[in-house]
Structure 1
């Protein structure tokens, strides 16, 4: 999650400590209301002023001489420093002593060279990294590219009034940068708008790539060793597997999920989940289980392929997400080029499976009730059919009996046009002969 990244956890820490502090007097910023992510103020050039002189001012760390404090927080501090050769201004991030574990320091020492080799126009360059012993034990530090005048991705899009297609094109460049880090074997773990800056020239830059892994900030989050209110804001961007509190069970698809959240927020100006004012365990449950809001319910114009792309990146099951940031970028580019995207809407069968997983007991009870209802209807139908058949057979038997009775009565009645003289002396033999004669006729 990194020093700049953990500012979401520690409100006094800036997400973009790199920014020029001269913007602190900007009148348009003074009216902004504070939010959970109070580090956004520093993105507008409002670094927190330390209560007393910082003992690091004037010291040299590595090849960098510290000039002033840009931001401070629970995880450490960010300084403006000057590199002697080549001479340039850098953002020097120092982790506070005691924050990092021994395993994290060993991992940091192993990954330093890889972090320094991350060279991509969309990633803030880490010039150098190392360990510093300031009398409190070895602590990691990073000398990073100083991005003066940059703004948070979402703020930049709003300020420039970018339309949906322009935002997608900008975001595709972010995906390309994330994929470069993944190819080097580094997972960011804390991708969010505050860690994606856009320079004054309109170029997006991901900051703190790999810093989270080197500082054990995943564990700091999952063990809740941070400010609770600010943690809720960070959890918006955590993948379901990150919420399962196992930092080792993380791969590039966790970053893909975070990119999906960033894309959702970039397009709608709102997060996909409402976890504000929720307890930590409930917020984690929502991220793990609840379906994200559909972008089209916020902005109807996002219905269709854009919504499908967003929701695929936000799949709970990582096997159903885009498997890499480049796959996400390619689908965005297909949309921009008016070509068919590869993502498909979830099938009804899959949606039912998700419903079963989230609400197993109610679903099982509902299934049982439906089965009983179907069986009851089927049994009733059989009974009704049997009764109808019995009624039909009874009616047939009655009709047949009536016909027999009518035939017998007709045989006993004297024929109206007969040569036989009916009287008291006529025998039944004569009647039967006459009836037989009439039947033969």
Structure 2
């Protein structure tokens, strides 16, 4: 392509970026048969393809370098490999800890460079331009970092470290290989009860740990639950978490507040939709109920509609009974789900640990875990590695974003607006709470019918006279 750099420039940018150590680059190029004196015989694309084949570059890295972009491909001690996603508070990349991978390099890999699948982490980045334009984002980033420091539990993703490199703030998180519950259900269908029970017992265990650390997650949903190939659950993302042992920020744009909603509308608790910080741990239990409903039926309790619609439904509508959508769900499990979905927090289970105990009590023996095909770390990299453009977080967001990549759809996790005044139409899988008998549509229908019959009788009587 005419917009791509020359082979000589491509080699220069590799060295400047740090994705391949500059002192090892000549040896690698020599093994590929590349010589600077004959660089005109090479295209940058051909050289990139050779490096990708040997596992020395990812498609994402190569695409950036071919377009002349090199800043930000290494942040601190981490090589940025591929984008995992983007939200309102930063971007998350699959990255490689070069310190962890250095032992592999010393063992004799090609050119002394470790394969890209060694030492993987999930690297959350606060884009510098976003930090400059939106100071509240920096405050949110610092809050998330502090909250991760409280957490140490096998059912919650761990923070490995936080720091700053090249003026870029980052949080390095444990990378969890697997699929999100959202993807699991969307691709392979709803979970059987005997598989959902142990999975959600682990999620409840992770939530209990957060609550004991005085943290409310505030964004429990299928996309934030990872299922490993071994069938274990990990709770992700403390970006919207709230600490109950410290006062909320005065600026409601940081943590939300009355009139500034924070959360995901398909899974948000009614009280959180009213006032984002006037809640307790039971808001997470409601979201857990919505997520379990999704896992067992393949749909959230209130699908469709606008954000305003969803807020009103979460506050006032009752979801269709779960066994009407999936009759094989055990009655006791269905009853637990609907208790979790109680509009009044006092009617929900008292704690996440109680939810865990009730789930495990539903079966006499430990059920089978959610089985997923195993895959290697290399396949994990290849799963996410594309030549996607539009993820230049280290620059101002002036570059168009490709609409085909998941990372190109920002989800701020927040919505600032008043709820709809008029009731919206009901969602397909919901019903209004029971109305007083005087307001029942059936009563009105009968009254209208009787009135019409009476009118017809009067007309007939008058004609007979």
- Give the structure-1-normalised TM-score: 0.55
Deviations 1:222-241 (A, max 9, x none): 7589xxxxx9xx31111112
Is residue 90–residue 146 contact of structure 1 (8 Å, CA) maintained in 2?
Answer: yes
1:59 equivalent in structure 2: 74
SS class of match (2:362): helix
Is residue 186–residue 210 contact of structure 1 (8 Å, CA) maintained in 2?
Answer: no
1:282 equivalent to 2:309? Answer yes
1:115 equivalent in structure 2: 148
Q: How far has the Cα of 1:200 moved from its partner? A: 1.4
Q: How far has the Cα of 1:281 moved from its partner? A: 2.0
Unaligned runs of 5+ in 1: 1-45, 226-230, 339-357, 371-441
Is residue 193–residue 296 contact of structure 2 (8 Å, CA) maintained in 1?
Answer: yes
Q: How far has the Cα of 1:95 moved from its partner? A: 2.8
2:158 equivalent in structure 1: 125
Is residue 195–residue 206 contact of structure 1 (8 Å, CA) maintained in 2?
Answer: yes
Q: How far has the Cα of 1:155 moved from its partner? A: 4.2
1:76 equivalent in structure 2: 90
Deviations 1:268-310 (A, max 9, x none): 1121113x1x233222111111012210111222252111100
Deviations 1:322-379 (A, max 9, x none): 22211111111122239xxxxxxxxxxxxxxxxxxx889x749669xx9xxxxxxxxx
Distance 2:265 2:74 in 1: 36
Q: 1:320 aligns with which of 347, 352, 368?
A: 347
Q: How far has the Cα of 1:312 moved from its partner? A: 0.6
Q: How far has the Cα of 1:171 moved from its partner? A: 1.3
SS class of match (2:215): coil
Distance 2:221 2:145 in 1: 23
Is residue 90–residue 145 contact of structure 1 (8 Å, CA) maintained in 2?
Answer: yes
Q: How far has the Cα of 1:110 moved from its partner? A: 5.6
Is residue 163–residue 169 contact of structure 2 (8 Å, CA) maintained in 1?
Answer: yes
Distance 2:163 2:224 in 1: 22
1:240 equivalent in structure 2: 270
Is residue 104–residue 213 contact of structure 1 (8 Å, CA) maintained in 2?
Answer: no
Deviations 1:60-89 (A, max 9, x none): 23x434344444455432223232444422
Deviations 1:33-65 (A, max 9, x none): xxxxxxxxxxxxx9998896665433323x434
Query: Given the superposition, is the C-alpha separation of residues 110 and 124 from structure 1 closer, same or farther in structure 2, using an over 3 Å criterion?
Result: closer
SS class of match (1:82): strand
1:297 equivalent in structure 2: 324
1:147 equivalent to 2:176? Answer yes
SS class of match (1:301): coil
Q: 1:94 aligns with which of 122, 125, 141?
A: 125
- Give the structure-2-normalised TM-score: 0.53
Distance 1:216 1:207 in 2: 22
- Larger relative contact order (CA 8 Å, sep ≥ 6): 2
SS class of match (2:216): coil
Is residue 220–residue 284 contact of structure 2 (8 Å, CA) maintained in 1?
Answer: yes
Unaligned runs of 5+ in 2: 1-58, 102-118, 244-251, 366-431, 444-465
User: What is the alpha-carbon root mean square deviation over aligned residues?
Assistant: 4.0
Distance 2:182 2:197 in 1: 12
**1:5-404 maps to which residues of 2 (within 5 A)?**
56-61=71-76, 63-72=77-86, 75-87=89-101, 88-96=119-127, 97-98=129-130, 102=135, 105-106=138-139, 108-109=141-142, 112-130=145-163, 134=167, 140-148=169-177, 150-156=178-184, 159=188, 163-210=192-239, 212-213=241-242, 219=256, 223=260, 234-244=264-274, 246-274=275-303, 276=304, 278-302=305-329, 304-337=331-364, 363=436
Q: Which has the higher helix share?
A: 1
Is residue 193–residue 330 contact of structure 2 (8 Å, CA) maintained in 1?
Answer: no
Distance 1:146 1:224 in 2: 29
Query: Given the superposition, is the C-alpha separation of residues 287 and 223 from structure 1 closer, same or farther in structure 2, using an over 3 Å criterion?
Result: same
Rg larger in structure: 1
Distance 2:86 2:222 in 1: 20
Query: Given the superposition, is the C-alpha separation of residues 202 and 54 from structure 1 closer, same or farther in structure 2, using an over 3 Å criterion?
Result: farther
Query: Given the superposition, is the C-alpha separation of residues 240 and 67 from structure 1 closer, same or farther in structure 2, using an over 3 Å criterion?
Result: same
